Structure 1
Amino acid sequence: MLPSKHIPLWPGRDHPRMSIFLPRDGCPPLHHCAAMLVFQGGSYRINNGSGEGCAQWFADRGVLGIQVEYRTAEGPGLCAVTDEEPLFPRPVHDAVRAVRLVRQMALGLEVDPNRIGVVGFSAGGHLATMLCSAELPCAESDEDDLQHISFRPDVCVLCYPLISLGPSLRGPAGLGCCLRSLRCPEEGEESLCAELRVRPGHPPTFLWHTHDDELVPVAHTETYARALEEHGVPHKALFYSGPHALGMCLEGEHANDWAEKMLEWLGGWASPRFVAPAFFSKKKQI
């Protein structure tokens, strides 16, 4: 299904932009929906890799689904960064801007500004984690006139995420490829290690990975789950058999129940008639 509308992230530019998928049955009177912003994968080389259909999936279940474009090394199209400057931190600026715009437009979108979540697949998962800390790994964009609005999501969903830029987890085609796409100086790599950015107060997080992932080893999710555990962050981690980049995989052989388990974990958080879910009790969920 096609999105209901497109919203450019930055004034005077058509791309990058957000594609809005409205809840199938709308929101009940006097209620507002939760929103989930989706960042697809692509090694920071492209932004339309695995994760296709996720925003629509949420919309079909009563949640405003938002597919977010962000700038990458090769595009597609007008999202490509063609100059010689490092790609980083432009994807982070785009992700920050997307969350802020949704909060600013919450009333018009019939969205609860305190129920804004993010979903990230592979490199999109890494980008999602950059939003979860109190401080960004970079300076704010001078173009962003919404800096008074919080960029932190209220929940985070990570699907086989790239997590660490550390040498021990840098697989043959994982974050090494991302580093080349980001053109990030070595001295800036540590600030992009998501496991080092976890602190108490981090958004509740649902994450899953496959044991047979050769591009982004399962150790990335295991490392992040340990960091969440150490800091008392409510979370749930699932592990499956199967390769990398399964996406929604609703009818596939592997991990075909992750999305429903995630929705079950979100519980009343995702319902227009909000009911506080179990993770609001701050109990750890492993």
Structure 2
Amino acid sequence: MRHTWLICGLAICLSWGTSVRAEVTITPDVVYGHKSGLAMTMDVFTPTENVNGAGVLFMVSGGWYSRWQPPEQMQDRFKPLTDKGFTVFAVRHGSSPKFSIPEAVSDVRRSVRFIRKNSDRFQIDPQRLGVYGYSAGGHLSLMLGTASDDGDPAAKDPVDRVSNRVAAVVAFVAPTDLRIMVKDAPDRLDAYARFPALDLDLKAAEADSPLVHVTPDDPPTLLIAGDKDDLVPIEHSRNIQAAFEQADVTSRLIEVAGAGHGFRGEDARRSTASMVEWFQSQLAP
């Protein structure tokens, strides 16, 4: 079923680091913040060989749902990156329907601040952070690319004083303009009624639409989308690519011929290879 691609998910551990395979150390459930009496967590996948000092965040989000999964089951997903020496952070945000898109955006911004503040702990360069995700995860990745800040030096919480900017973005099949997807949008696709996260008014939708926030200081961004996507039409990617070009932002759009909302087989292999190559070129020391 094609639309199940939207639902992609990924025990507080007392010890720092649990070795699962010789080439990668998995540190599960690292707490990067709290809200509503709950911990916000990420899993960290650290290569033990050929470490390049760069970090890549993966947005655990599909339809703005964020689900827990044993990290050992996700390790192969990140192997193309860890094999090249990247440390991968699988970030979970407050999940729909309990939490809204604006809250998810706030959560992932905090995750970047936390990782940067703790860069020595993770043995990464705080200036070489990338982010990627699929569908809703791609949307959150683009929000980090287009609508981040340098932190608030007057904030009471030291984490909030740190920048949440990233140095490179890869967004797969990503919504870029929520204004045409939310409940008040005229002629919106019927399928969007299945996603309670889109129960936003037009003002909130505009605030969390990456297309609105494109500016010349945005980081290099790779967009990958299927030209037959009937859930998030490729116009989302084409429109923000045009905005990037107008703002003179380093960017590229790969259109996967005949693909819908998600890739399989050779399309999946090629798109993953393109993602890894993008991070290699943009996050090099």
TM bracket, shorter-chain basis: 0.7 to 0.9
Counterpart contact for 1:55–1:67, Cα < 8 Å: no
The SS at the match of 1:189 is helix
Counterpart contact for 1:171–1:216, Cα < 8 Å: no
Q: Which amino acid aligns with 1:245?
A: G
CA 1:257–1:129 in structure 2 vs 1: closer, same or farther (change >3 Å)? Answer: same
Counterpart contact for 1:37–1:67, Cα < 8 Å: yes
Q: Which residue of 1 aligns with 2:144?
A: 131
Is the counterpart of residue 40 in structure 1 residue 64 in structure 2? no
Separation (CA, whole Å) in 2 of partners of 1:99 and 1:238: 26
Q: Which residue of 1 aligns with 2:40?
A: 16
Match of 2:116 among 82, 103, 108: 103
The SS at the match of 1:15 is strand
Separation (CA, whole Å) in 1 of partners of 2:178 and 2:165: 22
1:135, CA displacement in angstroms?
5.1
Separation (CA, whole Å) in 1 of partners of 2:156 and 2:68: 25
Aligned length: 246
CA 1:35–1:73 in structure 2 vs 1: closer, same or farther (change >3 Å)? Answer: same
* Residues 99-150 of structure 1 deviation map (CA, whole Å, 9 limit, x = unaligned): 01111111121101110011021011111122223557xx9xx885412211
1:238, CA displacement in angstroms?
0.4
Q: Which residue of 1 aligns with 2:233?
A: 217
TM-score calculated relative to the size of structure 2: 0.76
Counterpart contact for 1:263–1:270, Cα < 8 Å: no
Q: Which residue of 2 aligns with 1:89?
A: 102
1:170, CA displacement in angstroms?
4.3
**How many percent identity over aligned positions?**
25
- Unmatched 5+ stretches in structure 2: 1-19, 181-185
Q: How does 1:149-228 map to 2 (within 5 A)?
A: 149-167=162-180, 170-174=188-192, 177-178=194-195, 180-228=196-244
The SS at the match of 2:62 is coil
The SS at the match of 1:119 is strand
Is the counterpart of residue 231 in structure 1 residue 251 in structure 2? no
* Residues 196-242 of structure 1 deviation map (CA, whole Å, 9 limit, x = unaligned): 11001101001100011111111111111111111000011101121
- Unmatched 5+ stretches in structure 1: 75-80, 275-286
Q: Which residue of 2 aligns with 1:266?
A: 279
Counterpart contact for 2:62–2:136, Cα < 8 Å: yes
Q: How does 1:240-255 map to 2 (within 5 A)?
A: 240=256, 241-246=258-263, 249=264, 252-255=265-268
Counterpart contact for 1:160–1:216, Cα < 8 Å: yes
Is the counterpart of residue 57 in structure 1 residue 80 in structure 2? yes
TM-score calculated relative to the size of structure 1: 0.76
Higher share in helix: 2
Counterpart contact for 1:35–1:63, Cα < 8 Å: yes
Counterpart contact for 1:34–1:269, Cα < 8 Å: no
Separation (CA, whole Å) in 2 of partners of 1:256 and 1:107: 33
Q: Which residue of 2 aligns with 1:277?
A: none
1:189, CA displacement in angstroms?
1.6
Q: Which residue of 2 aligns with 1:6?
A: 29
Alignment RMSD: 2.8
Q: Which amino acid aligns with 1:120?
A: G
Is the counterpart of residue 148 in structure 1 residue 161 in structure 2? yes
Separation (CA, whole Å) in 1 of partners of 2:252 and 2:101: 30
Separation (CA, whole Å) in 1 of partners of 2:126 and 2:148: 20
Separation (CA, whole Å) in 1 of partners of 2:225 and 2:161: 35
